[in-house]
Structure 1
């Protein structure tokens, strides 16, 4: 496997001092070692829950708050740089985006345990999905198709960029996905409501109007490139959310970059949450999402429980208005 830490550090040395670079190397190397010891996979398979568990393990082992903060900052920088740079194709998601930085103080002070610490998972609701597709930037048909496809299949943005025309079976409405995380292929399926956009993009002259189309095997391309880049997919979603008035800046990371609530990954979360609401079983959902560990999928069950709780509080027995008379 390519040494991602060394590739990252070579890029960092251009802008950062040697002392800062060595400090980040130490933090990242120790994190990688922890992943191996805890059987969490490698650096390309990290989730926000892995980051949370690691920071908690540091705090509970007596590490100083400054050490915990330094580890968090190094991880934010590492995954932020690699996920935004199309040259680092091994990292297609930034797991620090889904980590609730407001909990970092609680972790460092040791006031919460792992089982009690719950982070927010931001997901796109059906209503927000419609607002997104109505406000996508140009070219609108392509970008509306991208948003709806992410919502209906739950695929990662990096997986979307790898879809080839030969991967699509429009009769079965199926797409073969080359999973970067698990190094295995899987099938995902879209609904008939997507037929019009899909057919118009492929057969209606929209895709072929791009000068790169004749030489490209990929479903999605741009006017300048034969395939769309994963960071560009995320920009489309964030721009649409901003225009729709539903975007929020949650916090700024250690590098000063804004972390937004609505991203392409929030569409993936939306697919998962809505599928559970529609009674899809957890194992099927895990397979469709391409998760190698069922525990990763189970995080969505909590969100479903939250919806049940809110519905009971709003509509459950005892919430009705009753007029009483004092006699």
Structure 2
């Protein structure tokens, strides 16, 4: 059954206690920070819909990542919601995480999983409204491309003190740059798809549909000989986390790293290098989008290859 604009399937289908508590806390915050009643109603309706989705998926809202939001957007698109409704829903989700990030009761760092999502760029949605100006500064996000010299500063400031963490983070940063992979694509790289002899990684596209683009759904990316040392150093470190982990990048318990975690490595390296800066802020002055993200690194690499090399044709997927 299709959800209504409040995110419910019917008048009798309400949020469970756990998710209703998230909503009520957020609603109290909105009431004290948003003046216009109609805006408050829309923000609350959007977050109720998001929490309804999280409950359906048995997903902890505070553990949601970019891929979860994209699945949510895909569902809205599939159910043929109006573009204005989708933009309001996504803006409401973003607002929810701005609130969570500033809630003093949350001792852990809270990421905004909408941060690297652009509705015009990723979904072709152009019917934007005042509710999504914070999300899609389209005139900015598509023209800012850091130089190769600026990117090199990230490699020198990879976060992490232990050999495991530092090696992994530096390799993540360098692979982002050399392969132009998206964060969710890198998160899904499995060891069976890594060909060290040919320095090649087979990647499943995060954007293309297999039926519509069977020849492009999988593509190959390569790394330079300069990364051979880091790749060889990382292999035994990752193997020590678990019994032959399936994914290339894992945490100390051998679990797959999420796209948001990988993007956070880029943000932290930029902060440590002293080059991170806010790109957009919300109406409360809180940072909505940073200059340095995994997506920005991808954009910088593609721009560099197009403008500074003899590359004639490359499929980035």
- TM (norm. structure 2) is 0.58
Quick one: which of 240, 249, 253 aligns to 2:282? 253
Deviation readout 1:212-249 (Å, 9 max, x if unpaired): x3152111111135111221112111111111111112
Which structure 2 residue ranges, 5 or more long, are not aligned? Answer: 9-13, 29-36, 50-71, 77-82, 100-108, 123-128, 131-137, 210-216
Q: Shift of residue 123 of structure 1?
A: 2.7
Deviation readout 1:36-90 (Å, 9 max, x if unpaired): xxxxxx93499xxxxxxx7xxx8xxxxxxxx9x9688437448989xx999x8xx
The answer as to 2:218 corresponding to 1:208 is no
Quick one: which of 244, 249, 268 aligns to 1:239? 268
- Distance in 2 between the 1:253 and 1:98 partners? 20
Corresponding residue of 1:15: 25
1:80, 1:94 within 8 Å by CA — same for their partners in 2?
no
Change (3 A) 1:45 1:248: farther
1:92, 1:158 within 8 Å by CA — same for their partners in 2?
no
Quick one: which of 124, 130, 151 aligns to 1:129? 151
Corresponding residue of 2:218: 185
Q: CA RMSD in A?
A: 4.5
1:161, 1:230 within 8 Å by CA — same for their partners in 2?
yes
The answer as to 2:181 corresponding to 1:147 is no
Secondary structure in structure 2 of the residue aligned to 1:146 = helix
1:92, 1:230 within 8 Å by CA — same for their partners in 2?
no
Q: Shift of residue 161 of structure 1?
A: 0.9
Change (3 A) 1:160 1:85: farther
- Distance in 1 between the 2:199 and 2:281 partners? 40
1:178, 1:186 within 8 Å by CA — same for their partners in 2?
yes
Change (3 A) 1:72 1:207: closer
The answer as to 2:184 corresponding to 1:158 is yes
1:135, 1:244 within 8 Å by CA — same for their partners in 2?
yes
Q: Higher helix fraction: Structure 1 or Structure 2?
A: 1
Larger Rg: 1
Question: Which consecutive aligned stretches of 4+ in structure 1 deviate over 6 angstroms post-superposition?
Answer: 18-21, 25-29, 69-72, 78-81, 96-99
Change (3 A) 1:217 1:189: same
